[in-house]
Amino acid sequence: MTRVFSGIKPTGHVTLGNYLGAMRRWADVDQYRADSLFCIVDLHALTVDHDPARVRRLSRQGATLLLAAGLDPEVCTVYLQSHVDEHTRLSYLLECVATDGEMRRMIQYKEKSARERERGGSVRLSLLTYPVLMAADILAFGTDEVPVGDDQVQHVELARDLAVRFNQRYGHTFVVPKATGPEVAARVMNLQDPTSKMGKSEDSGPGIVYLLDEPDVVRKKVMRAVTDSGREVVYDRETRPGVANLLDILAACTGGEPAALAGAYQSYGALKKDTAEAVVEVLRPVQERHRELCADPSHVDGVLRDGAERARAMARPTVDAAYRAIGLLPPV
């Protein structure tokens, strides 16, 4: 059976981009068609300045939202990365096959390290090695497919390269994974700046719709979205990024096709109104389930405990095999 692995990091509140680009597919499709694991990758949240209490809070909220989005712990495995040591055990071995040049070429590293430096801060070493830990997340489980939004494709390609290189040097150990993306909404853009991604780690702002935003907040954010000069509703990501983003979101929420939907609108106002309502409707059931799950925190704890146990058992044989292959003596 196909093995699927994906993750989300608790660096900020979960956004509509996370949901449409990744989580919704995990819940609606991936968990049923594959033997799948979905992980709150909390170690990755430590690669930038963070408040420990906030990371703990967001990790729990992230896990609760994965369940609220429809992941069924009877069908798939949901757990926290820091509960399963195999991730960090394998990460070190992969650091021994990755190169520093490769790490410095990663787009997210370039962007995030530049931002840290602009703020006058220093860049943590773990930000540079982040993609190696991500490769370990994937490779530890013999993963075939990694369902992610566009921004993570380069990291998954690095995981592929490391798997191939390790296998060539030390003998076949890892399955070589591939990224899979959604047909629409692979890159949901910021409503106030449609040339940049709607990212949860950015400062909170009117351009980001959060999964737990109240309906009126969603409406306000969508109605105030920056559109382009011009009046006609056409789907062109290059010249009309604001309108194209709204059409992408509307299409992802209603199951339509962005270019075809454009033809149905004579004004930006009507497009915004329908998009806002479509988003509110998509979020409504997730928010309802989230409220129910919050009333019973011990349920989420139980899911995470069982999930970690299952994940450990799934990862250990591959990670042990990698230890032997690279030249380490097994413990006696």
The answer on whether 173 is annotated among ligand-binding residues is no
35, 42, 86, 137: which one binds ligand TYM (CB under 6 A):
137
The answer on whether 9 is annotated among ligand-binding residues is yes
Q: How far is the CB of 258 from ligand TYM (least distance, A)?
A: 14
How is residue 69 written in tokens? 């989005």
Phi, psi (rounded to 5 degrees) for 77: -110, 125
User: Catalytic residue at 220?
Assistant: no
Tell me whether strands 35-40 and 178-180 are parallel, antiparallel or unpaired.
Answer: unpaired
The answer on whether 11 is annotated among ligand-binding residues is yes
x/- site string to ligand TYM, residues 38 to 67, per CB under 6 A? ---x--x-----------------------
Position 134 contacts ligand TYM (CB under 6 A): yes
How is residue 135 written in tokens? 């490769």
Chain positions 3 to 22 lying near ligand TYM, rule: CB under 6 A, are 5-9, 17-18, 21-22
Between 188 and 262, whose beta carbon lies closer to ligand TYM? 188
Between 19 and 265, whose beta carbon lies closer to ligand TYM? 19
Position 138 contacts ligand TYM (CB under 6 A): yes
Position 207 contacts ligand TYM (CB under 6 A): no
Between 254 and 299, whose beta carbon lies closer to ligand TYM? 254
The answer on whether 47 is annotated among ligand-binding residues is no
Out of 197, 220, 221, 272, pick the active-site residue. 197
x/- site string to ligand TYM, residues 167 to 196, per CB under 6 A? ------------------xxxx--------
Secondary structure in 3-state letters for the chain? CCEEEEEECCCCCCEHHHHHHHHHHHHHHHHHHCEEEEEECHHHHHHCCCCHHHHHHHHHHHHHHHHHCCCCCCCCEEEEHHHCCHHHHHHHHHHCCCCHHHHHCCHHHHHHHHHHHHCCCCCCHHHHHHHHHHHHHHHCCCCCEEECCHHHHHHHHHHHHHHHHHHHHHCCCCCCCEEECCCCCCCCECCCCCCCECCCCCCCCCCCCECCCCHHHHHHHHHCCCCCCCCCCCCCCCCCHHHHHHHHHHHHHHCCCHHHHHCCCCCHHHHHHHHHHHHHHHHHHHHHHHHHHHCCHHHHHHHHHHHHHHHHHHHHHHHHHHHHHHCCCCCC
Find the residue with minimal CB distance to ligand TYM: 21
User: Catalytic residue at 110?
Assistant: no
- Give the chain's largest Cα–Cα span: 73
CA distance 38 to 307: 9
How is residue 156 written in tokens? 């998954």
User: Catalytic residue at 197?
Assistant: yes
Between 125 and 295, whose beta carbon lies closer to ligand TYM? 125
Between 112 and 272, whose beta carbon lies closer to ligand TYM? 112
Out of 178, 200, 220, 272, pick the active-site residue. 200
In one letter, which amino acid is 187? R
Q: How far is the CB of 38 from ligand TYM (least distance, A)?
A: 9
Q: How far is the CB of 57 from ligand TYM (least distance, A)?
A: 16
Report the binding-site residues for ATP. Answer: 9-11, 17-18, 149-151, 188, 197-201
Where on the chain is the footprint of ligand TYM (CB under 6 A)? 5-9, 17-18, 21-22, 41, 44, 134, 137-138, 146, 148-149, 151-152, 155, 185-188, 197-199
Known binding-site positions for L-tryptophan = 137
| Positions marked catalytic | 112, 197, 200
Residues in the annotated binding site: 9-11, 17-18, 137, 149-151, 188, 197-201
